[in-house]
Amino acid sequence: MAKPKLCLIPATVGGKVYSILPSDGVGDFDFTRADGSSPTGVTRINAQGLIEEVASGVNRLNYSLLDGEVVGCPHLLLEPQRINDLQRSQEFDNAYWTKYQTSVSANSFISPDGTLNADKLIEDNSNSTHQLGRAISYNSGTTYTISVFAKSSDRNLEIGAGNTNTFPAKAIFDLSNGTVLSSTLGNPSIENYGNGWYRCIITATALATSTTNINFGLTNGSTLSYSGNGVSFIELFGAMREQGSYPTSYIKTTSAAVTRAAETCTGSGNAATFNDSEGVLMAEISALADDATERRITISNSSNTSELILIEYDTPSNTLHAFLYDGSFQAEFTHTLNDITTFAKVGFKYKANDFALWVNGFEVGTDNIGNVFPNNTLDVLKFENSVSLNKPFYGKTKQIQYFDTTDIDLEQLTSWDSFRAMAEGQLYTIQ
């Protein structure tokens, strides 16, 4: 297979996102996240599968978890701005949190970050609900996502609003089997973080502008109110409330809410990198959520919005979109994926009267009519729209490859054994 002109395989944490090719640094991306000082509250999943805080302005190489275990190579994680509105996210013994028929023993267990800082929420012996909560304000029509990491001894977890007429969220999570046991309101989900830890999540849209509690409660099976024994408990870590329709990476807080700024990744390549006449853009990517937003990766003319090559996630649900635009659409493809939050290998080929889209080893679209760019104008690759800083690619990226020729085996390039073939061909070792 031909050698890529530009190749990004995320491998280094730092202020830039470094490309393997070209080797002179022209292919490196400028990374931006406008944090405060370190520690920032911004986190990633490291190679050991642990939550790890990252320094200010540093990109995040995040590892995927499957059944609580790290799988595969890291990906570059780019997320939108989010704020964790809950203070004392790891300090449930603090007076910030109100205890209802419960008590808290601080720093009793090893948390998902690998240190002794998870708290023990213990039920008392009253016949009642057994909860811990915090009153917080909501704005009518705004969607919020609440999450907390929990681990069971012999109890399950309920996440619920004190007044569901304000915030319609209520679900019970089975902490032994890692499932949503029951749900009456909101959209719940659960993620396995290993060692018995689960991130329990619920999303809902506020019905009123008001203040009500977020409650984390113990349940006896699916029973919320019961006679406690004064001994049973669950472990808690990392509470979070953020505005948005899906959860993002954990943001640690202490005495104030913490903002994780939006992340951008731009500025790779120059006019000598890209071929206006023909080429292939390949990306191994997944979306953060199927949230009906446009998330773009583009090769473009840095001073002209009318010349670009694009791969993006788009609407409607689970849509992959690719096109070449030169004042008008010269070639355009849409393809429906089973799940855009699962990694896909996408290859877009362009040449006059010879365009194609490949996904996961299969050709899913061709177009034999269309022009390409008349002059050497393509000069930059970005994780966002061509010129204006909008429609950024919020998602996960395992690799980007650009070839300045269409003499490429796209079936091999986009199939699932192509990464190893490419890496070993360039004398890299896969570990």
Query: CATH 2.60.120.260 region(s) of the chain?
Result: 84-260
pTM exceeding the 0.85 threshold for the entire prediction: yes
Query: CATH 2.60.120.200 region(s) of the chain?
Result: 6-32+264-425
Total residue length of the chain: 431
Those residues whose C-beta lies under 8 Å from the C-beta of residue 70, and which sit 6 or more positions away, are 45, 47, 48, 49, 63, 64
Q: How far is CA 255 from CA 252, 267, 280, in A?
A: 10, 37, 49
Strand stretches in 206-359, DSSP E: 210-219, 225-227, 233-243, 258-260, 263-266, 278-287, 295-301, 304-314, 319-326, 329-336, 344-351, 355-359
Q: How far apart are CA 365 and CA 354, in angstroms?
A: 11
pLDDT exceeding 90 applies to what percent of the chain? 88
Average of pLDDT values for 280-291? 97
Residue 426 has pLDDT above 70, yes or no: no
Under CATH, domain 84-260 is a member of which superfamily?
Galactose-binding domain-like (2.60.120.260)
pLDDT tens per residue across span 45-69: 999 999 999 999 899 999 999 999 9
Average of pLDDT values for 333-347? 97
Instruction: Classify domain 6-32+264-425 at the CATH class level.
Output: mainly beta
Environment class of 348 (CB within 10 Å of its CB; exposed 0-12, middle 13-18, buried 19+): buried
pLDDT tens per residue across span 156-176: 999 999 999 999 999 999 999
pLDDT tens per residue across span 250-285: 999 999 999 999 999 999 999 999 999 999 999 999
